[in-house]
Chains A and B, each alone.
Chain A
Amino acid sequence: MAILKILEFPDPRLRTLAEPVTEVDDSIRTLIDDMFETMYDAPGIGLAATQVNVHKQIVVMDISEDSSDPLVFINPQITVLADDTLPYDEGCLSVPGFYETVDRPASIRVEALDRNGEAFTLEPDGLLAVCIQHELDHLNGKLFVDYISPVKRERIRKKLEKSQRQRA
Chain B
Amino acid sequence: MATVPVRAQAATVLAAVLQQQASLASLLPAVSDKVAPEQRPLLQELCFGVCRWAPQLQLLLNRLLQKPLKPKDSDVQALLLIGLYALKHMRTPDHAAISTAVEACRSLKKPWAEKLVNGVLRSYQRDQQSLEESVANSPANLTAHPNWLRKQLQNFWPQQADLIFAANNAHPPMTLRLNTSHQSRDDYSAALQLPHRLTPFSPFGITLDSACDVHTIAGFDDGQVSVQDEAAQLSAGLLDLQGGERVLDACCAPGGKTGHILETSERLPQPLSEVVALDLEERRLQRVRDNLQRLRKQATLICCDALATDQWWDGQLFDRILLDAPCSATGVIRRHPDIKLLRNATDIAKLAALQLQLLQALWPTLRPGGRLVYATCSVLPTENNDVIAAFVAATDDAKHLPIEAGWGIDQPFGRQLLPQVGGHDGFYYACLEKLVS
A interface vs B, CB < 8 Å?
42-46, 61, 63-67, 88-93, 96-97, 99, 126-127, 130-131, 134-135, 144
Q: Interface extent on B, as a size class?
A: 10 to 19
Q: Are A46 and B103 in contact (CB under 8 A)?
A: no
Q: What are the residues of chain B within 8 A of A99 when measuring CB–CB?
A: 3-4, 107
User: B residues within 8 A CB of A126?
Assistant: 33
Given contacts A97-B103, A97-B106, A97-B107, contact A66 B4 (CB under 8 A): no
| Per-position binary interface string of chain B over residues 2-44, scored 1 when its CB falls under 8 Å from any chain A CB and 0 otherwise | 1110000000000000000000000000000110111011000
Tell yes or no: B1 within 8 A of A by CB: yes
A63-B38 contact, Cβ under 8 Å, with A45-B2, A90-B1: yes
A39 CB, min distance to chain B CBs, angstroms: 9
> Which residues of B have CB within 8 Å of A44?
1-2
Q: Which residues from A are CB-within-8-Å of B34?
A: 88-89
A90-B1, A135-B1 known; 17 new pairs, CB 8 Å cut-off, are: A45-B36, A46-B1, A63-B36, A64-B37, A64-B38, A65-B38, A65-B41, A90-B3, A91-B3, A91-B4, A96-B2, A99-B4, A127-B37, A130-B1, A131-B1, A134-B1, A144-B1
Chain B neighbourhood of A96, CB < 8 A: 2
Chain A: which residue is nearest B31 at the CB level? A89
Chain A positions within 8 Å of B107 at CB level: 97, 99
User: Contacts of A61 on B, CB cut-off 8 Å?
Assistant: 1
Question: Looking at B1, B40, B106, B107, which has the most chain A CB atoms within 10 Å of its CB?
Answer: B1
Residues of B within 8 A of A46 (CB): 1
B2, B4, B33 pick with most chain A CB within 10 angstroms: B2
Is the beta-carbon distance between A92 and B3 smaller than 8 angstroms? Answer: no
Contact with A along B100-119 (1 / 0, CB 8 A): 00010011000000000000
List residues of chain B with CB under 8 Å of any chain A CB: 1-4, 33-34, 36-38, 40-41, 103, 106-107
What chain A residues lie within 8 Å of B106 (beta carbons)? 97
Least CB distance from B1 to A in Å reads 4
- Take A97-B103, A97-B106, A99-B107 as given contacts and tell me if A66 and B3 are in contact as well, using a CB distance cutoff of 8 Å: no
Q: Interface centre among A64, A89, A126, by most B CB within 10 Å?
A: A89
B115 to chain A, nearest CB (A): 15
- Decide if the interface of chain A is mainly helix, strand, loop or mixed: mixed
Could you tell me the distance in whole angstroms from the C-beta of B107 to the nearest C-beta in chain A? 6
Q: A97-B103, A97-B107, A99-B107 are in contact. Are A92 and B40 (CB under 8 A)?
A: no
Instruction: Give the Cβ gap from B99 to chain A, nearest Cβ, in Å.
Output: 13
Closest Cβ neighbor of B36 among chain A residues: A45
Shortest beta-carbon distance, B264 to chain A, in Å?
40
Complex Cα spacing A131 to B3, Å = 10
In the bound complex, do residue A65 and residue B1 qualify as a contact, i.e. CB atoms below 8 Å apart? no
Smallest beta-carbon distance A120→chain B, Å: 20
User: Contacts of A91 on B, CB cut-off 8 Å?
Assistant: 1-4
| CA A168 to CA B107, docked complex, whole Å | 23
By a CB distance below 8 angstroms, the chain A residues around B41 are: 65
Of A42, A127, A135, the most chain B CB neighbours within 10 A belong to A127
Closest B residue, CB atoms, query A42: B2
Contact of B3 with A45 in the complex, beta carbons under 8 Å: yes
Contacts of A131 in B (CB 8 A): 1
User: What are 30 of the A-B contact pairs (CB < 8 Å)?
Assistant: A42-B2, A44-B1, A44-B2, A45-B1, A46-B1, A63-B36, A63-B37, A64-B37, A64-B38, A65-B38, A66-B38, A67-B38, A89-B3, A89-B4, A89-B34, A90-B2, A90-B3, A91-B2, A91-B3, A91-B4, A92-B1, A93-B1, A96-B2, A97-B106, A97-B107, A126-B33, A127-B36, A130-B1, A134-B1, A135-B1
B3 contacts A65, C-beta separation under 8 Å: no
CB distance from A107 to the nearest CB of B (A): 16
B27 → A minimal CB distance (Å): 15
A137 closest partner in B (C-beta): B1
Most buried by B among A43, A99, A127, A144: A99
Cα distance, A67 to B36, chains bound together (Å): 11
Chain A residue nearest to B42 (CB atoms) is: A65
Instruction: Give min CB distance, A52 to chain B, whole Å.
Output: 14
CB neighbours of A135 from chain B (8 A): 1
B117 to chain A, nearest CB (A): 15
Which chain B residue has the least Cβ–Cβ distance from A51? B1
**Contact call B37/A65, Cβ cutoff below 8 A:** yes
Task: Report the minimum CB–CB distance from A62 to chain B (whole Å).
Answer: 8
A22 to B339, alpha carbons, bound, how many Å?
A: 60
In the complex, A166 Cα to B307 Cα: how many Å? 64
| Bound Cα distance from A1 to B155, whole angstroms | 64
Q: How far is the CA of A92 from the CA of B2 in the complex (A)?
A: 5
Contacts of A134 in B (CB 8 A): 1
Q: Which 10 interchain pairs have the tightest Cβ spacing?
A: A91-B2, A46-B1, A65-B38, A134-B1, A97-B106, A44-B2, A99-B4, A131-B1, A89-B4, A89-B34
| Residues of the B chain whose Cβ atoms lie less than 8 Å from the Cβ of A93 | 1-2
Minimum CB–CB distance for B356 against chain A, Å: 45
Chain A residues with Cβ below 8 Å from B4 are 89, 91, 99
| A-chain residues with CB within 8 Å of residue B3 when the two chains form the complex | 45, 89-91, 99, 127
